[in-house]
């Protein structure tokens, strides 16, 4: 256009800049589904503050978490909600589960083989979701954070370290999911917990979101 005399060089630069801006504006946002138990529920709020923002949304976050659920319980919820959640066309699914399985593992109501089977089923169900491009979403699974280090939590943390997290790592590796080390974020940090020693406080929630 410039050679033909239809556009000055300065006009051509302005046109290319405008086209580049239009292309960037047309780029769809990254859609993230946040799935799991009560540890996941505040994460979307923190992520919205941490992720880059502009007048054009670059990230869209969906909360798919339910408080108090074991992996088996979440598997049941996922079975009921999957078709509705699929419409979000998530590019990434974050999964944080396992904390509510500790008590049942300690009492023998649940066996670790059942935990593995249920977590595997959850990941595989999310793999049936599709992005806007028709691709399988990336699945990121968090290890189970420890409870606050105090005498009342010694047995809980033993289960988390020796039984639950090895199972989480095994399932994630076998199913091709990415692993986020949430256990390491809170380990040895009593300052990151609420007074109950079970739930992360605001600083703990932020640390998990940053991780």
- The DSSP line for 138-200 is EEEEEPPPPPPSSGGGHHHHHHIIIIIHHHHHHHHHHHT-EEE-HHHHHTT-GGGB-TTSSSB
Q: What is the DSSP letter of 100?
A: G
DSSP 3-state assignment of 15? helix
- Which residue shows structure tokens 């289960």? 159
Q: What are phi and psi of 22, to 5 degrees?
A: -65, -40
- Which residue shows structure tokens 């040895």? 188
pTM to 2 decimal places: 0.84
101 contact partners, CB below 8 Å, separation of at least 6: 70, 71, 110, 115, 164
Distance separating alpha carbons of residues 95 and 98, to the nearest angstrom: 10
User: 70: which 2 tokens?
Assistant: 């074991």
Each residue's pLDDT expressed in tens, for the chain with a length of 211 residues = 445 455 565 654 565 555 555 545 567 899 999 999 999 999 999 998 888 776 667 899 999 999 999 999 999 999 999 999 999 999 999 999 999 999 999 999 999 999 999 999 999 999 999 999 999 999 999 999 999 888 888 999 999 999 999 999 999 999 999 999 999 999 888 899 988 878 899 999 999 999 9
Model pLDDT, residue 52? 79
Q: Give the C-alpha distances (Å, rounded to integers) separating 165 from 15, 34, 101.
A: 54, 20, 12
Look at the chain and count its residues.
211
Distance separating alpha carbons of residues 161 and 11, to the nearest angstrom: 63
């Amino acid at each position: 256009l410039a050679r033909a005399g239809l556009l000055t060089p300065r006009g051509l630069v302005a046109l290319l800049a405008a086209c580049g801006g239009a292309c960037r504006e047309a780029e769809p946002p990254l859609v993230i589904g946040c799935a799991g138990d009560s540890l996941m529920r505040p994460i979307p709020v923190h992520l919205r503050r941490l992720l880059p923002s502009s007048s054009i949304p670059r990230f869209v976050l969906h909360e798919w978490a339910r408080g108090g659920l074991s992996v088996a319980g979440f598997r049941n919820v996922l079975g009921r909600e999957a078709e509705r959640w699929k419409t979000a066309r998530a590019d990434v699914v974050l999964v944080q589960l396992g904390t509510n399985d500790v008590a049942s593992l300690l009492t023998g109501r649940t066996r670790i083989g059942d935990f593995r089977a249920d977590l595997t089923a959850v990941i595989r169900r999310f793999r049936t979701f599709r992005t806007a491009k028709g691709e399988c979403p990336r699945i990121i699974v968090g290890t189970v954070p420890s409870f606050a280090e105090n005498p009342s939590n010694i047995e809980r943390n033993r289960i988390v370290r020796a039984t639950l997290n090895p199972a989480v790592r095994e399932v994630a590796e076998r199913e091709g999911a990415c692993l986020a080390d949430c256990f390491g974020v809170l380990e040895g940090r009593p300052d990151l917990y609420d007074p109950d020693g079970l739930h992360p406080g605001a600083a703990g929630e932020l640390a998990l979101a940053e991780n």
